[in-house]
Amino acid sequence: MNNFTHPAAQSLRRHLKTGAALCVERLSAIAGSGWSAGAVAAGAAREDVLEPILNSARECHGSWFSFPGGSILVVVPNSAGLRLADRFTREHAEIVDTLDHRDAQVLVEVSCLLVNALAEPLSAVLDRTIIVSAPSTLLDTQREVALTALAGLRGAGPSAIAGLVSLEGPGGEVLSLLVLIDPETARRLG
Q: What is the CATH number of the domain that holds 65?
A: 3.40.1550.10
Q: What is the pLDDT of residues 58-111, one digit of tens each?
A: 888 999 999 998 999 999 988 887 777 777 666 655 655 666 666 777 888 889
* Amino acid of residue 56: S
| Residue 1 domain flag | no
Alpha carbons 148 and 180: distance in angstroms, whole number: 13
pLDDT tens for residues 19-42?
999 999 998 988 888 999 999 999
Q: Is the pTM of this model over 0.85?
A: yes
Strands 161-168 vs 174-181: parallel, antiparallel or unpaired: antiparallel
Give the count of domains, the chain: 1
Q: How far apart are CA 80 and CA 33, in angstroms?
A: 14
| Residues shown for the chain | 190
Q: Examine residue 109 and state whether it is found in any structural domain, yes or no.
A: yes
Which domain range does residue 18 map to?
7-189
Cα(97)–Cα(110) distance, integer angstroms: 16
Give me the helices (H) in 89-182, please: 93-96, 102-126, 142-155
Domain membership flag for residue 2: no
> Is 124 part of any domain?
yes
